[in-house]
Copies of this chain bind each other. A is one copy, B any other.
Amino acid sequence: METVLAGWTDEEQAIAKQAFDSAYGRAIAVLTETLRERVRTIHGAEDVWQLHDFLSIQRHSIEGHFDFRLDGILFVFASLVKDKLLELDELTGLDPEKLAKITAMSRF
Contact = CB atoms under 8 A, between A and B. Distances in A.
Interface string A25-60: 100100110011001101011001101100110010
Contacts of A39: 32, 35-36, 39
Contacts of A51: 35, 55
Interface residues of A, number: 20
Q: Which of A31, A39, A40 has the most CB atoms of chain B within a 10 A radius of its CB? A: A39
A59 B46 CA distance: 11
B59 A52 contact: yes
Interface of A: 24-25, 28, 31-32, 35-36, 39-40, 42, 44-45, 48-49, 51-52, 55-56, 59, 62
